[in-house]
Amino acid sequence: MRIVVDRPIFVAIVMGFALFVLSSFQPRVSMAVEIIELHYPLDGELVTKEMGHLVAKVDVSVSPYVSVKVNEQITPVIDMLQPLYTDTLGDMLIVRLYFVPGVNEIEVVGKNADGDEVVKSAFRIFYKPTFASLTSSVPSAFVESPFHVSEREDLCSACHRMKVDSAVDMEPVKKFDIFCTRCHESGLLGAKEHGGTTWKCLFCHDHEAADKYSLYDNKGAFCLDCHGSEMDAFLNMTSVHPKFRERDCLACHGGHVAGEGLLGDAVNILCFKCHQSVYDGTHITPGHPLEAPKDPSREGKGMDCMSCHLAHASQKKALLKFKGGMGMCAICHAK
């Protein structure tokens, strides 16, 4: 008996068999979530810290080698079966990442014991610095999602203490006594610390709030618990900065560590957030610079908005440091 096979069907069968044979010699790349289960950050998250940790659970029997790519920066390959790693983190992938302002493209790539790529998980997050210009916008696709929720904390609780110990954490004696520093140490190191409160996290952060560890007041009105006497004196002056009157300290100041005066950014950048019109080239007088390396009125400092204005309040109009008119010009310009 003669069997007649339709030519297109025959070609399809041959090609299918060939692909099957070839595939047995090629590494298989999977997108299965069971191999790399991402916990933080997730696709579409908004973050407000330059440095963060990627947290994921990995099936090391399939993918013992992992690397992470953030934009164009790639981490060294991590051997998750190395005894030191296994004893410390088990099957949890925890990698410190650094973000650039705006959209960040992240890839987590897993390889098998032969070095073949077997899984790739790609996602995007948006980093907006805390003191980013008010004019910068965040695409609607990105939403902030706090880390300190029960399901995420449970992942860490096997190795880390995740509950507040009032006897230690409410009034830590040493910088590293409070448990927060186990993860947040790098964000608390800087040129200038915030008095004695830098390491007393729960003085400003509410561990019993619905949004756990959020500030007691998002604007920083609780700053007056320590700085109240200064506030009272300033409020009675001739001109008072609106943000200061509103107790919105965090509009300009950082809470932990920052530059001089605990400012969150350079003086003129902070002022520009609200006073963009002064950069039209006509402020003071047409062509007068608003910044320069040297300030004739302040030895050792550069010229900026603070050369003529006070930050919080003044006995003179417009927060000026000096009496207006030509007398103020003479501070820098000799007759």
Whose CA is closest to 37, among 117, 149, 123, 125?
A: 123
Question: pLDDT below 50 — which residues of the chain?
Answer: 1-5, 10-11, 20-32, 133-135
Residue 252 sits in the same domain as residue 232 = yes
- Residues 75, 159: Cα–Cα separation, whole Å: 24
Query: Based on the domain organization, do 259 and 163 belong to the same domain?
Result: no
Domain assignment present for residue 206? The answer is yes
Domain that holds residue 86: 36-147
Using H for helix, E for strand and C for coil, what is the string for 136-153? CCCCCCCEECCCCCHHHH
Which residue among 123, 147, 171 closes a domain?
A: 147
The answer on 64 and 43 residing in a single domain is yes
Residue 244, in any domain of the structure? yes
- For residues 76 and 60, is the Cβ–Cβ distance under 8 A? no
The answer to whether residue 10 sits within a structural domain is: no
Do residues 135 and 173 both lie within one domain? Answer: no
Please indicate, yes or no, if residue 23 is contained in any of the structural domains.
no
**Number of domains, the chain:** 3
Same domain flag for 229 and 318: yes
Q: Report yes or no on whether pTM surpasses 0.75.
A: no
CB 324 within 8 A of CB 317: yes
Residues 6+ apart with CB under 8 A from 82: none
- Domain shared by 167 and 125, yes or no: no
What would the pLDDT profile of 131-151 be if each residue is shown by its tens digit?
Answer: 554 445 789 999 988 888 888
E strand spans, the chain: 36-40, 45-47, 51-58, 65-70, 73-74, 78-79, 92-98, 102-111, 117-127, 143-144, 192-193, 205-206, 214-215, 239-240, 257-258, 313-314
What pLDDT, on a 0 to 100 scale, did the predictor assign at position 118?
A: 93
Residues 55 and 104 in one domain: yes
For 19, how many CA atoms within 13 A lie in the half-sphere containing its CB?
6
The kind and range of the H/E element at 267 are helix 267-272
Given 97, 112, 147, the domain boundary residue is 147
Asked, for residue 162, whether it belongs to a domain, the answer is: yes
User: What are the pLDDT digits (tens) for 260-288?
Assistant: 777 878 888 888 888 888 877 788 888 88
The enclosing domain of 120 has a CATH number of 2.60.40.10
- State residue 75's pLDDT score: 92
